[in-house]
Amino acid sequence: MLFGTARINELNHLEIGGCDTVDLAREFGTPLYLMDEEYIRKNCRLYKHTLSKLHKNSEVIYAGKAFLTMGMCKIIEEEDLSLDVVSGGELYTAISAEFPAKRIYFHGNNKSYEELRMAVKYGVGRIIVDNFYELEMLKDLAKKQRSKIKILLRITPGIEAHTHDYIKTGQLDSKFGFGLENGHAVMAVEHALSSKGIKLMGFHCHIGSQIFEREPFNMAAEVMLKFARDIHESFGIETSEIDFGGGFGIKYTDDDRPLSVENYLETLVDSVKLWSEKLNIRVPKILIEPGRAIVGAAGTTLYTVGSIKNIPGVRKYISVDGGMSDNIRPALYGAKYSAMIANKAGNPPEEKVSVAGKCCESGDMLIWDIELPRVVPGDILAIFCTGAYHYTMSSNYNMLPRPAVVFVKDGSAQLMVQRETYEDLLRNEVFKTNKKSVSFA
């Protein structure tokens, strides 16, 4: 199951972006995050052009939490997408990359005063307000502003998409947003409209991730447009924009059946237009926030196989030099992946193995029971669709340095994030010894 520019070359090696992955593993070491730049750009254009064709008054906002570096910010800027950030750190990354402030949308369920101050000072395009506490802080910050702070209110629409409990966000019992059923959403509108220095531009919702059905998007459109109608009737204001978030699923394994980009967006836009007509209100600007859908399948992680443990009649484990420190998703919510031996890419499967990580946790398993060619120590294992929520969720558990990030395109590889060193692991420690720095060269 190959994605983007991936292919099997004449050496029987996996090639991505015109680069032999076996050579990349030798040059940059493993574990190694590879990002297919051409495929990322293709996905950006697909979402932007498809949505614009369906509804001119629209905007595609890349959800930076999926994968964010300064280099990624530059690609998003060049492809004319906006950027969604969810923390001061993500905002700082965007600022450092000189991303246009007006195209930044600032999310988060517990933004600090300092984070909001940074966003207001930099002049971000929209702040997506999640709670009353945040509204109060923005009122205070607005007193020091000459121009109004433009906001969207995040609404909890009461929709439970069929996905994992940890990535459902649209149901009433959620840490995110103002609830409709309990009246908090209307209270938030009243509060925002009465706050000097704050300009309410519209509303935001997000119903979950890895959604493979049309119906949740139909329901979201209905709920949000009815809410917009109610707000118009109660307060006399028209909703100029609605951000429907992301949630568009991708294919990790052959069992996954996501819709096409065209089907996802046609469903959403058609529903928005239908309910606008039914409710006799103006069709708002439609915003969406794909993240995983843009970078997920564009990422591949390379590992080197180490120890192999065969338990006759039970299971054969192959261990790699990474694990839950660079991919927490299998341990966190049972995520499944497809993989290939990069140096034996065209070989037929010969055995069933399970891929174990090197962290000191029995739950550190990357893949259970996958058919691969005969595996030996030193083989390079490529796990696909690791572009979203892998680098961004990586950790130093067991004091493992984070992997490097390399972008590949047109036969060249560009190092975007250096591999951490052991020295990096101790960089912030203040304990000092009399010993000189240790070298293992």
DSSP letter (8 states) at residue 205 = -
For residue 129, give the 3-state DSSP assignment: strand
Choosing from 44, 73, 359, 360, the catalytic residue is 360
Residue pointed to by tokens 């924009």: 241
- Whole-angstrom distance, CA of residue 324 vs CA of residue 384: 15
Beta strands in 21-144 (DSSP E): 32-36, 58-63, 82-85, 104-106, 126-129
DSSP string over 396-411: -GGGPPPPEEEEEETT
Report the DSSP pairing between strands 315-320 and 339-341. Answer: unpaired
- Whole-angstrom distance, CA of residue 7 vs CA of residue 3: 8
User: Is 360 a residue of the active site?
Assistant: yes
For residue 233, give the 3-state DSSP assignment: helix
Q: Could you give phi then psi for residue 111, rounded to 5 degrees?
A: -65, 140
- Whole-angstrom distance, CA of residue 107 vs CA of residue 138: 14
- Whole-angstrom distance, CA of residue 124 vs CA of residue 231: 25
For 361, the token pair is 């946790």
**Which sign does the torsion angle of CA 378, 379, 383, 388 carry?**
positive
For residues 222 and 275, is the Cβ–Cβ distance under 8 A? yes
- Whole-angstrom distance, CA of residue 262 vs CA of residue 46: 9
Positions annotated as catalytic residues are 360
